[in-house]
Structure 1
Amino acid sequence: MSPAPRLRVRSVAVDVTGDLLTRIPDEVDPREVVTWLREGDGLVGWGTVASVSTSGVDRFEDAERWWEALRDAAAVEDEVRLPGSGLVAFGSFAFAAGSTDPSVLTVPRVLMGRRDGLAWVTQVVTEGEPWPPDHPAELLGRSNPMLGTLDPLIEAEGSVPASAWPGVISRAVERIDDGEVEKVVLARDVVVRHREGRVVRLAPVLERLEKRYAATWTFAVAGLVGATPEMLVRLQAGRARSRVLAGTIRRSNGIPLPSEPAQGPNDPRLHLVTSTKDLDEHAFAVRSVSAALAPHCSELHVPEAPYVLELPDVYHLASDLTGTMASGATSLRLAAALHPTAAVCGTPTEAAARVIGELEGMDRGRYAGPVGWMDGSGDGDWGIALRCGELSADRRSVRLFAGGGIVAASDPEAELAETEMKLTAMRHALGLLAP
């Protein structure tokens, strides 16, 4: 691991209106775009001034040591002093220690932020480098004219063809029936390529994700891009929060909002909140998060029952856990302690991870791993990399991922349908589905 450079950081308050994504220059390397947005607020940046790649069982610890050295040596001027201003790193970590895909922690050269009506621009240079000639206000006046133009893409089968997926699920149910695991989460991939062999641009994909899935967290880190509904952990001012999602059903046209009363026995929300399979799957996930957070919190609130979270394509069972920090851990350390939850791995964890390695037929890479950001105080947001795709090293193709929790009551054909449903987010964002 290379030594951390000495950085100079400057955050200034600015006026920003409209979509932050429009400021991403079309010519920047798509793997150097970073994003964390929800309902129009958050962080958008580009360029790389410092980064580190880690791997193996120590990938989180090695990244945090590098970050601490970088932070301690940095000269920071921060007139904003909000979560996400000053020195900020974006991270994306491999799901499995044995993955060949390295985990990444990266600091962008330019970062724009907005929170509760307040906005700022952060610029970062290495020691000895001059500040960029552009004033932050000039950056805000720019707009990407190609943001609404999608690349021509074509989809192909992934590591395991869709026709073979029910057989994989059947084998997983057999392992559950044999008592090897109680629950295992299995995922599949598909590959999307540029029809003309060119680089796939990510800014238009992010814009479509952010507009359609505004209630989720739209992210991009080192070529991994998506819209996750699942907050692994948020740490802010000594309070930790985690959102657990497990249990899913398709949302059809004309279904009422969750705030409205149920519309008869065919309302899918009624099925979701009474389904033994979905409730069991959700309970496994909540217990795993609660057990991981408890050692770090003096108080931990765990809801007695889940609620139904509405997304454009699906309903999820959801639970929000909150706690008061007692351990002094950073947000990244909490993310490492929580990963992998039962929502993306299974129960018991080690046995489920072994079954995943034997049945999935692919390396997940950074799919289902922690993704997010952290500032100099250690506060930050870390989601789970779901509803996402990973740009290839040559930037000409994207692997899309989707999975589901398998329990004893799982139906193989229904599980295939669930992955197809979850692939909808990225297929829409890439222009593979009708608007």
Structure 2
Amino acid sequence: MKARFEFAGLKQCLQQAKLRANHQQSRVLASYLLPCNRHDPLALFAANYQYERTVCLWSTPSSDHYAVGFGSACELSCAPGGSWSEIQTNWQKLLASSVIIGGHQPVLYGGFAFDCQKAPSLLWKNFPTAVLTLPDLIFFCERDRSYLVINIMVSSQTDCSLAAKRARARWQSIVSRPLSAPDYDSLLLDGVDFDNSSTDALSWQQRVVDAVESIKRNELQKVVLARSDSLAVNCCPGDILKYLREYYPGAFLFAFVREKSCFLGASPERLVALKDKCINTVALAGSAPRGKDFATDYSLGLSLLNSDKDRFEHHLVVQHLLSILRKCCHNVAEPEPPQLCKLKQIQHLLTPLEGFVKDGVNLLDVLSDLHPSAAVGGLPRKKALKYIRENEGLDRGWYAGPVGWLNAEGEGEFAVALRSALFTPGRVTLFAGCGLVEASLPTHEYRESCIKMRVIRDAIRSVSLVAEAAG
């Protein structure tokens, strides 16, 4: 009886949307919420990511809140160099005529390229420079509550009964699809080195030397240089996400599947969150490795807190963020001294910042002002971006760009896509970057980039050990 009632409710939602579509002569969003049984969100992702052209997964740090979205009811994007607020404007137009039943707010998920002035390279061909997606089906679970949101764009020609049946059948297929058996024979290809980077270390370190020379000539205050590394590996992104959930519970866990590519990671850095008019962001800059025992770890953390080089780099990021917040916010709180953010392989200097957004300023306005922050780009911002385009020799794609969500009220949260990798058939491309100031040393920066890449390397190594044990 309950299933028939829920089916009838979805059909009613679609019929209301169809009446509006017929009146407006344009498509209308129908969004319907229904309670559902609890499922492991990572298992849902792992069992279905290969069968859907578009899939997303999002989890907030240290919480039991997950969202897994399948398909695309609609996508909102802008061309390279376009205004991000255009996406939010179009989102509000879509919502103005929508039919929403269930007391929820529809949510968009997606991301932005690090450099939205550039068209994607072949590696990132499936990832537009700026796109937020409204999934057809979104499974949410938080603490002891789980529910499904069904989103359908309805026209005057929509067969509401058939659309409801198809949505129900699709969800039943998603929750009943078993996990595929791992193909251990093809999991690891020859020549994979988990401990060392295959990137030409000397070449990248020379780029660091050149960048530091530019800083010494006062052409820049700071610049972030990134590099990538490629592993010939064919493994399930779902297995990687399980590892990241276990070992990085304090990170933003994310995954975006588009066609045959999957970009995923466990980011320690929130770029911006907006809730109840309050904007939150963090400055995360300055890094040191973790120690193998308490005494060594304590000493490394204390050295980081007292490092003139790292405190200067961190100070630049804090002041840059404050200057932006003061333009778009009231009551920007004065920051406390930096604290340590300790992760499994690395620790950072971290300073939380907040303010209350001014009237007429939306989340994507603030997002576009904050990105790229000095933590992933440099200062002065325009000069640093120009230097990166001309000298880095890398298409970062969505690496170091904002990824996250935006809801119907204009609230949302975006993280910086760090500790991440792009999975394509038979290959994984890892990314890491380092903030350079006048006191930066090439060997130290290269070592730091290797530590950052170990987040995904260790996840792949863990999967490989399971494969060896099974073999």
CA distance in 2 between counterparts of 1:294 and 1:306 reads 20
**1:71 corresponds to:** 95
The alpha-carbon distance between structure 1 residues 237 and 431, as it changes in their structure 2 partners (threshold 3 A), is same
Gaps of 5+ in 1: 256-262
CA distance in 2 between counterparts of 1:142 and 1:238 reads 41
Q: Which residue of the other structure, out of 420, 429, 448, is the alignment partner of 1:399? A: 429
Contact 2:188 2:464 in 1 (8 A): no
Q: Deviations over 1:173-221 (max 9, x none)?
A: 10000000011011000123345xxxx5422222222221110001123
What is the correspondence of 1:253-264 to structure 2 with a 5 Å cutoff? 253-255=292-294, 263=295
The alpha-carbon distance between structure 1 residues 299 and 14, as it changes in their structure 2 partners (threshold 3 A), is farther
* Alpha-carbon offset, residue 97 of structure 1: 2.9
CA distance in 2 between counterparts of 1:433 and 1:66 reads 42
Q: Which residue of the other structure, out of 8, 24, 27, is the alignment partner of 2:30? A: 8
**2:109 corresponds to:** 90
The one-letter amino acid paired with 2:116 is A
Of residues 211-220 and 290-299 in structure 1, the stretch that sits farther from structure 2 once superposed is 290-299
CA distance in 2 between counterparts of 1:239 and 1:265 reads 35
**1:24 correspondence with 2:56:** no
Contact 1:6 1:126 in 2 (8 A): yes
Contact 1:31 1:391 in 2 (8 A): no
**2:141 corresponds to:** 114
* Alpha-carbon offset, residue 117 of structure 1: 3.8
**1:249 corresponds to:** 288
* Alpha-carbon offset, residue 390 of structure 1: 2.4
Aligned positions, number: 413
Q: Which residue of the other structure, out of 343, 368, 385, is the alignment partner of 1:311? A: 343
The alpha-carbon distance between structure 1 residues 218 and 300, as it changes in their structure 2 partners (threshold 3 A), is same
Q: Deviations over 1:127-159 (max 9, x none)?
A: 126124538996896575349878714559999
CA distance in 2 between counterparts of 1:69 and 1:108 reads 18
- What is the DSSP-based 3-state SS (H/G/I as helix, E as strand, rest coil) of the residue aligned with 2:321? helix
* Alpha-carbon offset, residue 430 of structure 1: 3.0
Contact 1:24 1:144 in 2 (8 A): no
* Alpha-carbon offset, residue 126 of structure 1: 2.2
What is the correspondence of 1:9-408 to structure 2 with a 5 Å cutoff? 9-14=31-36, 16=38, 19-24=40-45, 26-29=47-50, 32-37=54-59, 38-39=61-62, 40-79=64-103, 81=104, 86-101=105-120, 102=128, 103-127=130-154, 128=158, 130-131=163-164, 132=166, 134=168, 142=176, 144-146=178-180, 152-154=187-189, 161-194=200-233, 201-221=236-256, 222=258, 223-255=262-294, 263=295, 267-392=299-424, 395-408=425-438
The one-letter amino acid paired with 2:187 is P
CA distance in 2 between counterparts of 1:109 and 1:364 reads 29
Contact 1:149 1:204 in 2 (8 A): no
The one-letter amino acid paired with 2:243 is R
- What is the DSSP-based 3-state SS (H/G/I as helix, E as strand, rest coil) of the residue aligned with 2:331? strand
CA distance in 2 between counterparts of 1:117 and 1:283 reads 41
The alpha-carbon distance between structure 1 residues 402 and 304, as it changes in their structure 2 partners (threshold 3 A), is same
* Alpha-carbon offset, residue 432 of structure 1: 6.9
CA distance in 1 between counterparts of 2:464 and 2:175 reads 32
The alpha-carbon distance between structure 1 residues 336 and 111, as it changes in their structure 2 partners (threshold 3 A), is same
CA distance in 1 between counterparts of 2:361 and 2:409 reads 11
CA distance in 2 between counterparts of 1:279 and 1:148 reads 46
CA distance in 2 between counterparts of 1:192 and 1:148 reads 19
CA distance in 1 between counterparts of 2:353 and 2:169 reads 42
Contact 2:197 2:450 in 1 (8 A): no
CA distance in 2 between counterparts of 1:426 and 1:5 reads 42
CA distance in 1 between counterparts of 2:325 and 2:170 reads 39
**1:423 corresponds to:** 453
* Alpha-carbon offset, residue 31 of structure 1: 5.7
**2:125 corresponds to:** none
* Alpha-carbon offset, residue 327 of structure 1: 2.8
CA distance in 2 between counterparts of 1:212 and 1:147 reads 24
Contact 1:153 1:432 in 2 (8 A): no
CA distance in 2 between counterparts of 1:381 and 1:167 reads 37
Q: Deviations over 1:21-51 (max 9, x none)?
A: 1222624347622111133323122222212
CA distance in 1 between counterparts of 2:181 and 2:359 reads 44
CA distance in 2 between counterparts of 1:46 and 1:247 reads 37
Q: Deviations over 1:63-108 (max 9, x none)?
A: 33332333234321133x4xxxx31111210111332222221111
The one-letter amino acid paired with 1:170 is V
TM-score normalised by L of structure 1: 0.86
Contact 1:331 1:382 in 2 (8 A): no
CA distance in 2 between counterparts of 1:209 and 1:112 reads 20
Of residues 130-139 and 301-310 in structure 1, the stretch that sits farther from structure 2 once superposed is 130-139
The one-letter amino acid paired with 1:115 is E
Of residues 284-293 and 308-317 in structure 1, the stretch that sits farther from structure 2 once superposed is 284-293
CA distance in 2 between counterparts of 1:333 and 1:348 reads 20
TM-score normalised by L of structure 2: 0.80
Higher relative helix content? 2
Of residues 205-214 and 268-277 in structure 1, the stretch that sits farther from structure 2 once superposed is 205-214
Q: Which has the larger Rg?
A: 2
- What is the DSSP-based 3-state SS (H/G/I as helix, E as strand, rest coil) of the residue aligned with 2:364? helix
CA distance in 2 between counterparts of 1:252 and 1:158 reads 21
CA distance in 2 between counterparts of 1:228 and 1:374 reads 18
